């Protein structure tokens, strides 16, 4: 699995866990609302600065964007 896909899946999962829509997350992070969707669909790769901004809003350690779940590891095999 590509790193961009891992980040996209984790962003979506973490956003849902906080109960935020893409628009709400974008508003709180002060970014374009379409950009969150583009990140989640792997159309853009987020910069480190952007991941840090999103992590602050989601109240997580930015490293969480790069963690592979057990399911993601199994999907690779």
Segments making up each domain of the chain, as ranges: 3-66
- pLDDT at residue 8 tops 50: yes
Calpha distance 25→71 (Å, rounded):
25
DSSP at 62: G
Calpha distance 11→56 (Å, rounded):
13
Mark 40-67 as b/e (b = at least 16 C-beta within 10 Å): beeebebeeeebebbbebbeeeeeebee
Calpha distance 69→56 (Å, rounded):
21
* pTM for the structure as a whole: 0.87
User: pLDDT tens digits for 16-70?
Assistant: 999 999 999 999 999 999 999 999 999 999 999 999 999 999 999 999 999 997 6
CATH 1.10.645.10 fits 3-66, yes or no: no
């Amino acid at each position: 699995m590509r790193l961009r896909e891992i980040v996209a899946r984790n962003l979506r999962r973490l956003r849902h866990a906080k109960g935020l829509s893409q628009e709400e997350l974008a508003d709180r992070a002060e970014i374009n609302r379409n950009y969150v969707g583009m990140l989640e669909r792997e159309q853009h790769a987020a910069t480190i600065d952007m991941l840090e901004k999103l992590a602050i809003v989601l109240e997580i350690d930015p490293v969480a964007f790069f963690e592979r779940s057990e399911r993601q590891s199994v999907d690779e095999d």
